[in-house]
Structures are given as structure tokens and as C-alpha cells.
A and B are shown apart, each in its own frame.
Chain A
């Protein structure tokens, strides 16, 4: 009897795992199946490096979207990563226990806020602010607005993963460093953070993935103009925003080109995951 139930249980587990893998495979096959023909028809070079997005004329170049995605992500990381890592450092090494717990709860809550709420916040608060402070009434929907929103959105990812990697560092390192006469801050920056470096890098890379994939919040604040930006105050359209924005009304070749954008986005995300895997494993060997 026992054996039988064990077998059934095992089957359920295997089935669950299969569903997981199958979902990934199906999505991959579907995206590439739907998206590749449009890329081929446009020509790989024209699709990747074309600067014009003219769906009605069936001209599909996504260089503006690729550029915007990269710039917005870099901007979000430049702001979000240092703030996130330093917050994690504070929680782990400096904050009194109660304050640390409070901060941790706060970042957890930040993670659970739906992205459309972030977008709405950006639309109502950040955009008017940018408009008044920098744009002089020319509209605040811009790359800057997207960067600010995304840098807040990646905080929970960066904080929680850096925090857990810092907690894994052997506490003896700290004690040894302090015993040698190093100050608390020196110990943190010269000993603890370097020891947790691969974990922190992983946190940042996952943050990159989050920023690159976000569509909902970005659509609401970025202005979505499918052109190469000439300033940080220009409206931009990221790859994920391009797909989400136009999918509802697109048909035929236009729709295929959106799937084509999905293929390129997928490849970007895939590369980021590979880097993540590489960095994580490298860290594993070191510890």
C-alpha cells in the first residue's frame, strides 16, 4: 500500500516538473514560430538596425526599441542597484534588529505592489514633477520617468537577493577583520561586500531582467514614441512596451513583427539568465 502511494506521489511530482518544462518549451517554440518569419521577411539586419517603425507601410525596424530598452535598463540599474545594495548592507550589518525587520517588510511590500500601480504613481506624480522641473511644460513622459519608476521597481529584487547573499558570508570574516583593528565601515566595504560579491552581482543581473521585461508601468510613463531618443527627456519606447502597446489592435504582418520583437526580447532575457547562471556558479566555487 505504502509503495503504491509513494509511486503516485512521485508521479504527481514528475508531472508538475514536466508541466514547468513544457510551459517554457511551448512558449519558446510559439514565440519563435510566430516571430521568426517576420524577422526573416524584413531581413535580420533591417529588423535589428532599422530606425523606422511604420506598421501601415509594413516597415519594421526596432533599433529605437532596442536602444531604449538598453538605455532605460542601464539608467534604472545605475540608480536602483547602489540604493538596493546599500539598503541590504544596512539591514544586514548596521540596522538595529527591529529597524532591519521593518525595512525588510517594507521592501517585501514594495515587491508585491502591482506594476500598473507603479505606472499610475509615475503618471500622476513623477511625470508632472519632471514636466515642471526639467521639461518646461513639454510633457514629462520620458526616458527619465521610465528610469525612475524602474529603479524603484527593481529595488525589492536587488535588496532581497543581496541581503541573503550577505547573510551567507561567514561571520568569522567580520570578527577577524574587527579584531585586526579595522572599523565597522572598512570591514563592510573591504571584507563583507567583496565576499558576497557574486551574490550581489546576481541580484543586479536579476534586476536587469526585471527592468528589461517590465511593460505595464513603462507604457504609462515613457511616452512610447518609436524613435531614437536624443535626450533623457525624450519619449521612448522599449521592446516590451512595443509588444504590449500594439498587440491589441495589430493584425497580419504587424502582429508577426510584434512577435518578432518578442523573439529579440526573449534572446536578451536568455542572455541575461546565462550571465546570471555563470556568475552564480562562479561564486559557488569560490565559497
Chain B
């Protein structure tokens, strides 16, 4: 009995010490928290960063733009990541660094014969006004619209630019088709389109792979050039933000990303560099 009690007490008290160890062991750890779209890029950057700078450990957590902005604001993260522009109330006291631009690609199933649609057709598809691939010159099959959850930076940018978002009495409403499938994350949209022969969705250009097919809008594909010179319209900034000036370690990491070497990594993963 006594042994058990001592054991329990030891067990409970050990819990208190667990928390202490972590903080002191790595003195120079930078936490980078936020957007699921920015996180993969932040990971690639930190992998390479580790080679040049072994003293600073970068911990990337992908939890979503809003959560990342909030974490940076209240100081639980050294750097926040956002794939959407900050709202007015989020801007106060924050420093923003645009680390890359990201095109949003419209994707369909690899077997789909459609290669190009117009911007008006894109809008009509996502509003549920065009519901069959036949109307676009494809086969006679229903169109399965796949979109992202509310609050997603990708969806926000997509809806704003495509015209899905309308303003009524100073308020922004979405006119997305009511039978559109909503799913969370770039990966999930990609997976859904890859699984559905009649699917259409949109994801970050950096996430496109062979499982899906990119189509052009008004004849223009999202490339480095077409996005930079504004011909391809659907893009948004990748932002890293800190509360006030970044800590010395965070500054070193940010400098690295914005350096020629860091921007090379941006290019390698099909995001658009900032100069």
C-alpha cells in the first residue's frame, strides 16, 4: 500500500517537472505557427535553414491562418503564418513580411478532357449555374464542385477574385453552389478531385501534383510570370508576421527566407518569389 502511494505521489510530482525540462533545453527555438498553405513552404525553408544555421531550431505548426495570427498576437508563437491579408483589427502592432506569392490553380480529374475555361464559366460552375461538363464541351456528366471551409485563406482569395463573393449592405456574402462539397485543407481538396472523375476544385499551385490536372483560365496557366505580371488573377500573398520587431533568432530565419537562397527554395516548390 505504502509503495503504491509513494509511486502515485512520485508519478504526480513528475508531471510537474515534465513541463520544466522542455523550456530550458533548447534556448534558441523559434516557433512558426499558422496557415496550412504556408506551412509546407516554411518546412522546406527550415530544412535548408538548418544546414546553414545549426543553433536555431525552427518548429513549424500548421493550424490555420487565423490561429496563427492569433498566436503571434498573444505571443505564444514567435512567428505567425497567414495565407490571407490581415484584417484591420489584426494589424495593430504587428509586423508583416510577405515571403512569397501563391497562385491558386483550378484543378480537375486527370481523365477530364477540358483544358481551359473562361473566368465567367468558372464563376458559373462554382455558383451551380453550369452543372454538366457537357455545357463546357466535355462529356455528359454532372460537375462535382469542391470548395474549402469558410475562413480559409485560399477560399477567401479565390472567392474574392472569381466574383463568388458579393457585397450587399457593406457585408460580404458568398454565392457558392449549395451542393458544393466543403473540405478542409489543400490536401483534402486534391484528394477529393483525384477520387472524383467529375470533380473540380482549387488549390495552392505549390500543392498540385500528378494526381490532378491543372486547367487554364482564359488560356492562362498560373506560372511565375503570369502571376507576377498580373495576367493570372487568382493569387494571394504568403505572410509571416511578428508582434513588434522579430526576436533576433526569428529575424535570422526571416532574413534567410527573403535571401536569394531562401527565394530559390520558394521557386523550387512552384511558389512565386518576391523581390
Contact = CB atoms under 8 A, between A and B. Distances in A.
Interface in B124-174: 141-142, 144, 149-153, 165, 168, 171-174
3 closest A-B pairs (Cβ-Cβ)? A248-B64, A249-B151, A224-B182
Contact of A224 (B64, B70, B183, B197): B183
B162 to A, nearest CB: 14
B51 interface: no
B198 A254 contact: no
A68 to B, nearest CB: 12
Of A136, A237, A246, most buried by chain B (CB within 10 Å of CB) is A246
A227 B245 CA distance: 44
B151 A251 contact: yes
Contacts of A139: 142, 144, 181, 196, 198-199
Contacts of A225: 178-182
Interface of A: 5, 8-9, 12, 53-59, 123-124, 127-128, 131, 136-139, 141, 219-220, 223-227, 234-235, 237, 245-252, 254-255
Contact of B182 (A54, A124, A235): A235
B65 interface: yes
Given A251-B69, A255-B66, 18 more contacts: A9-B1, A12-B12, A54-B174, A56-B150, A136-B142, A138-B142, A139-B142, A139-B144, A224-B149, A237-B182, A247-B64, A248-B64, A248-B184, A249-B150, A250-B150, A251-B66, A251-B70, A252-B89
A249 B69 CA distance: 10
B27 interface: no
Of A141, A227, A249, A252, most buried by chain B (CB within 10 Å of CB) is A249
Nearest to B167: A57
B5 A234 contact: no
Nearest to B172: A56
A101 B89 CA distance: 60
Contact of A235 (B8, B12, B179, B196): B179
A132 B171 CA distance: 40
Contacts of B63: 248
B12 to A, nearest CB: 8
Given A56-B171, A139-B196, A245-B149, A223 B182 contact: yes
Contacts of A250: 66, 150-151
